[in-house]
Each structure stands twice: as C-alpha cells, then as structure tokens.
Amino acid sequence: MALSPRESGEHIVKNAKFVTVIPEGIERLANEVVSRLKSGELDPKNFSQNDVHPKCDDAHAIEWIFVVDTLNFCFWTPNDYTKYKVDGYTGYFALCAAINRAMLEGIDITNAAYYSKIDVDTLRKVFRSDDGVTSVPLFEKRLSCFHEVGTRLLENWQGKFENVIRAANNSAERLLQLVVSEFPCFRDEADFEGKRVSLYKRAQILIGDIWSCFEGKGLGKFNNLEKITMFADYRVPQVLIHFGSLVYKPELLEVLNKDTILENGDPREVEIRGASIYIVEQAKDIILKKMADKELELNKEHVNSILIDHFLWDYRRKHADELEHIPFHKVLSVYY
C-alpha cells in the first residue's frame, strides 16, 4: 500500500539527500498565489476558455478529458524539447490539437470500443506532426496505454469513464483510488527510503481537469478536493527554484547540467517530484491558515493544489526564456 501523494511528499523531503526545501521561499510562493487569486487570474473557468479544451456542455467532454490525460506524458525528445508540433502547438497543447483534429476528421477517438483496438497506422495519423517527419515521443507506449484503458473501460465500466466518476460519489480521493487501481498506466509510484510512495501526476491532473472543466459542479463536484496535490512533472520545479522554495545540491546540479537521462524511480527524480508536492502543499496550508486566522478573505474552493499547479505551469510557459538557465530533470516515462 503506497503512501498518499501528500504523505509521500513529506516522507521524501524528510529523507532527501539531493534537494533542500526553503521555508522562506514557500512563503514567497504562497504570497504570489494569493495575489493571483485576489486578481481573479486563478480560476477554474480558465480551462474551458482555452481554445483546445472542451466546454462542460460538450457531449464528449468527460471522455475527451480521459483520453487526453491517458496520453498526457513526455512530449520532448533528448535532442529537441519543442520539435513535435500539431497546428503550431507544442507539448500538451499539441496532444489536445491532435485529438481535436482526429475528431474533426471523423475518427471516433473518444470511444473506448474504438481506441481499445486502434491500430498503429491510425494512431500515427492521429499524432502526425506539422512537419510530417517528427514522431510523437514514446509512440508505442501511447498505443499500449490506449489499448489498456479502453479494454478496462469496456470490461468493467460499460465503456465510459463517466461511470468511474459516478462510482466515486463526488469523492476526489475515491476517484483517485479507482483510477490508479483500474488503470495501471496511471499508477505513478516508486520505492523510496523504505516506503512505497505515490506521485500520481496524470491521475490527479485528470481529476483537476474534470473539476476545472465543470467548474466544481455536476460531474466536477468533489467534496474533498484537498486530498489532491499538485501534478509533479519536470518543468514546474524550475519555477519552485525561481521562487527560492527549492534548492538542488551541487551533486544533483552536476547531473542535471549534463542532460543525463534518469530512469523513472531514480531517487534523484523521486526527490525532485516529492519536494514539488511538499512545497505546494505547504504553500496551500499557509494560505488556508491565514484565511482561518481572518488575515485573508478568499474563495476557499479556489485555494487548492490544482489551481496552484495551474499558476506554476502557466508561469513556466510565460517565462520560459527567463527560466531556461535552470536545469530540469529528464526521464522518458509514461507518468509525466
């Protein structure tokens, strides 16, 4: 039985050898998040306002989100981090564009009965790049993930991820448990210092996307969203370092500066991701405490790790040039 993502973050930071967490930097991050919440910049409405995302009243919204988050991993290659493009988009947005293009072309890409058996040639067509040459990274893994989740949906859930959501009865924690138990490709875990730890990046972003798309209503209403942590990837730590909340030890910096490809589960990778979870949880706790002490007045439903992650991820994209000098860890993995 793995520790929860929050418990994992605490265990990892407590036993870390390669990273250091700086409380003053966490306070600085919390203050930045507060200012963005006050301004209205951080809001679940932002999800559906993005052109590549579905609206909550789109009939395909839930199944689209599940498909995208099943495939939401590793858009870089060791030699070029932004070469794979679809309709001019890079990274995650290229994936969204590819799925949307497939739908416009009449490919039944959000139907589990279809994608559970999708063939290599069709999936290559779905993922074709703007230059016609660059392949989406880890193509075979994406094919395998599609077959795995589609088959499981057909076997246990009448082919609909919506039925998994309904079975969770508005519990984000229960939905997280269902996703990682039913679909092994979401089971983002590692062994670290005598404990089984969980990071669950894609499983948690799946829940975050559902909550954001439906703005916390209907299928997107969850009673215990505080159980969901940030989505530990390889780019957000650059922002945590920028704000002074995370520091890499010299021996880790040396490895990262050499562009070394780490194995998934490497203690250095686990420490970076676990520390990211810990820092965001601490920042969230600081904000909630100030609200409890009447020092702050904010919409409590918006003080969660999902929106803090949105801030960090957007900040990295908006300030890419400014942050590019900060090295990031590289792992070829289906988990992020």
CA angle 146, 151, 157 (to 5 degrees): 115
**Which residue type sits at 182?**
E
pLDDT digits (tens, 9 = 90+) for 289-325: 999 999 989 999 899 999 999 999 999 989 999 999 9
> What DSSP line would sit under 167-193, residue for residue?
HTTT-HHHHHHHHHHH-GGG--EEEET
Is 209 designated active site?
A: no
Sole residue written with tokens 């299928």: 219
What was the pLDDT predicted at 83? 83
Contact assessment for residue 187 and residue 180, using Cβ atoms and an 8 Å cutoff: yes
Report how far residue 254's alpha carbon sits from residue 245's, in angstroms, rounded to the nearest whole number: 20
Dihedral pair phi/psi, residue 105, rounded to 5°? -85, 5
Class of residue 57 by CB neighbours under 10 A (exposed 0-12, middle 13-18, buried 19+): exposed
In which element (H, E) is residue 247 found? Answer: strand 246-248
Structure tokens at 49: 């306002």
CA distances to 116, 171, 185 from 159, rounded to whole Å, are 10, 21, 17
CB atoms inside a 10 Å sphere around CB 221: 14
Report how far residue 129's alpha carbon sits from residue 319's, in angstroms, rounded to the nearest whole number: 25
Dihedral pair phi/psi, residue 77, rounded to 5°? -120, 160
Contact assessment for residue 90 and residue 75, using Cβ atoms and an 8 Å cutoff: yes
Does this model's pTM top 0.85? My answer is yes
**Strand pairing category for 261-262 and 330-331:** parallel
Residue in 69, 188, 209, 233 annotated catalytic: 233
Beta pairing partners, 196: 191
What was the pLDDT predicted at 82? 65
What was the pLDDT predicted at 176? 98
Residuewise pLDDT in 10s, the chain (336 residues): 999 999 999 999 999 999 999 999 999 999 999 999 999 888 888 887 789 999 999 999 999 999 999 999 999 877 766 689 999 999 999 999 999 999 999 999 999 999 999 999 999 999 999 999 999 999 999 999 999 999 999 999 999 999 999 999 999 999 999 999 999 999 999 999 999 999 999 999 999 999 999 999 999 999 999 999 999 999 999 999 999 999 999 999 999 999 899 999 999 999 999 999 999 999 999 999 999 999 989 999 899 999 999 999 999 989 999 999 999 999 999 999
> What DSSP line would sit under 125-167, residue for residue?
HHT--TTSSPPPTTHHHHHHHHHHHHHHHHHHSTT-HHHHHHH
Nearest-CA neighbor of 29 among 205, 241, 317, 329? Answer: 241
Domain residue ranges of the chain, discontinuous segments joined by +: 5-331
Count of residues in the chain: 336
**Which residue type sits at 47?**
F
What was the pLDDT predicted at 81? 63
Query: Furthest-apart CA pair in the chain: how many Å?
Result: 59
Nearest-CA neighbor of 58 among 73, 71, 68, 43? Answer: 68
CB atoms inside a 10 Å sphere around CB 117: 13
> What DSSP line would sit under 53-117, residue for residue?
SPPTTSTTHHHHHHHHHHS-----BTTBSS--EETTEEHHHHHHHHHHHHHHTT--TT-HHHHTT
In which element (H, E) is residue 246 found? Answer: strand 246-248
